[in-house]
A and B are shown apart, each in its own frame.
Chain A
Amino acid sequence: MKKIKAEKLGLTESVKRHLEAIGVVVGEVIVPSTITIHYPRERRKLPDNFRGLILFDSKACISCFRCAHICPANAIVMEHRIAYFPSIDYAKCIFCHFCVDSCPTGALRPTKIHDFVYKDMDEMVVHSEEMVETPEIVREDSFTVEYVFDGDVQLVKKKEKEELVPEVKPPERPPKVAAALNPENCISCRLCVAACPTFAISAKEEKTKIILEINVDRCTACSICNKICPTSTLGLVDR
């Protein structure tokens, strides 16, 4: 426990404190410790893990819907292109990057772009094809400023344009493949066949039974079949 007690202010103490306050302010007038960064002429250096605009790689996307499911703001909607690809409504997005962290293949990746505007609400829904390329942004900055802390803060200015799209390695996901873990559970509903985004599952009828064939080369281990299966027949196994 630390006792906090305000001192009593006598006349001398009061005058001293007045002079202290004036002294500090006059000192600042003479040597100011300004910390302003003149955005947009200067841009602050941001760490590589900055959570900004999200880019999308359609080749890596396995249409697993994880991003759409995890989004706390319901900003992501899967739209059918070649497969189901995410579109982000930036009117709703709160930049928590749960989607980026959920993406198992690194198809969604973060950038440091934080300054972008749209003309209307419709335009704020960014479709997957618009997320592939880094959007064109007007950059007026010619300096990159960084706060360097040593005793006091220093604004270190470098005449360079910061690269806003950092290199992000995709997560090292263990190779897995879908398999029928509990074949006896299957009720032949064929939901998995219909749901598989890569058509890796096919069903062959044999009298009363149905045999599921999983094309291992096509399977991306998106685990949609796993999720949609009402009887937990399917699951993921190591490749």
Chain B
Amino acid sequence: MTGMKEVREMSIEVPVEPPAEYESLFIPVPKEFVEDAYRKDDFIVFIGPQHPGSGHMRIIVRLKGDFIVEAIPDPGYVHRSMEKLAENRLYVQNIPLLERPAIMDFGNYNLGYVRVIEEALDIEVPERAQYLRVLLAELGRIGTHLYDAGILAVFMGHTTGFMWPFAVREFIVEALTHITGARITGSFIIPGGVRRDVDEKVLRMIGRIIFTIENRLEKFERVFIRNPTVVARLKDVGVLTREEAIKYGVVGPFLRASGVEYDVRRVESYEVYDDLDFEIPVGDDGDGYTRFLVRVEEIAQSMSIIRQVIDRIPEGDVISSDIEAISRNDIRGSFYDALAKITLPAGEYTTLTEAARGTLLFSVLSDGASNVPYRLRFVTPGWMYLKGFMESLKGERLADLQAIYGSFGYFPPEADR
């Protein structure tokens, strides 16, 4: 940022017209912006959508020398119109749909949506099911943070830092396979509980998996997290102060990295989070490295939560007695009878969930008669912190774009929905 002031403002009349493609390709920048950039001898660079360091989105960057003056996001390349699709499906059929934005984090996404239905219908969830839901949510949180760490690493050219979290994530996937039967898209949490009970053997195995992950992350810490080149790339880069972070509506670990202690699990506790001991990591600096370290600490906290869940999980049913089911331990055989007929009473129901990347909002509007939502509003954390992400780019170098991108763990499919 300091370097920017040294660059002198210069204005020369360049007889160059912006290419006609700027208009014909539907690029979401005004013509004046392009012309102004051409006149001031700035450089407009399109990062994405076919760029190794952009994900499924385009960032239109205006450069002065090596410094970013303006960053305009062009999201929507992976927009799947989930809110509209959800209006044509039964309430229960929306479970697999709404977990798609962030597939690794399906536990939190299922949980958020299912809690809307439970809130509307006043379904009491058995305690064992609540513990299993927390287990899934936290496994997903670790998996997502590891995924983001891998993307951050590869954006900075650190291939080992890319491969190792993905390998460790494989153990999470192994745990999820044993619980849900699917590697990532679990669709496991249903209104009134979870689809089936998890036996003691699997729970003990998850305990050992957590231990293994801890061991392997120690190596990862030495090669990537504490690596001086990584520190050099991330420290004091993309700083969002506390005020800026609040102003731009940043959520989740990225808000906490700027010094705001806000976690839905504590503020508006759901499931059994009130009974579990965990700390909320909060950073002060609000730079890329703190954003990363906060998530690293969250992995440790999530592992601690999972250990507590395995220790404390009570015996009992996993499907609520409010639900019509053959067995209280397994929905098999009665899934249709129990859940296909769900109709919510008229009204609007909203839940907040702490997904891995931040606050996740589900809001369902029901007309009280149909078995599909009248309107479903669904705001993902990625969409919420896109503005903060773009603001933090300003004044940084072009090479920092990828580092900041990775430090936010921005995931276009999640933001675009």
Contact = CB atoms under 8 A, between A and B. Distances in A.
Given A149-B212, A152-B216, A6 B326 contact: no
Given A49-B178, A171-B326, 9 more contacts: A20-B222, A28-B219, A50-B181, A51-B181, A72-B93, A72-B96, A102-B335, A103-B333, A104-B334
B331 interface: yes
A17 B279 contact: no
Nearest to B231: A9
A149 B178 CA distance: 14
Contact of B279 (A2, A9, A106): A2
Interface in B229-244: 231, 235
Given A24-B223, A96-B96, A152-B212, A1 B336 contact: no
B181 A171 contact: no
B177 A98 contact: no
A6 B231 CA distance: 9
B365 interface: no
B212 A4 contact: no
A35 interface: yes
A115 interface: no
Interface residues of A, number: 54
B122 interface: no
Interface of B: 89-90, 92-97, 160, 167, 170-171, 174, 177-178, 180-182, 185, 187, 195-196, 202, 205, 208-209, 211-212, 215-216, 219, 222-223, 226-228, 231, 235, 257, 261, 279-285, 289-290, 293-294, 297, 301, 326-327, 330-337, 340
Nearest to A28: B219
A170 interface: yes
A151 to B, nearest CB: 6
B171 A3 contact: no
30 contacts: A1-B280, A4-B257, A4-B282, A4-B290, A5-B284, A5-B290, A14-B228, A17-B227, A17-B231, A20-B222, A25-B223, A33-B216, A49-B178, A49-B180, A70-B92, A70-B335, A72-B94, A94-B185, A96-B95, A97-B181, A98-B92, A98-B93, A98-B187, A102-B333, A104-B334, A149-B205, A149-B212, A150-B208, A153-B171, A172-B327
A30 to B, nearest CB: 13
Contacts of A1: 261, 279-282
A6 B285 contact: yes
Given A1-B282, A4-B257, A51-B181, A147 B174 contact: yes
B160 A25 contact: yes
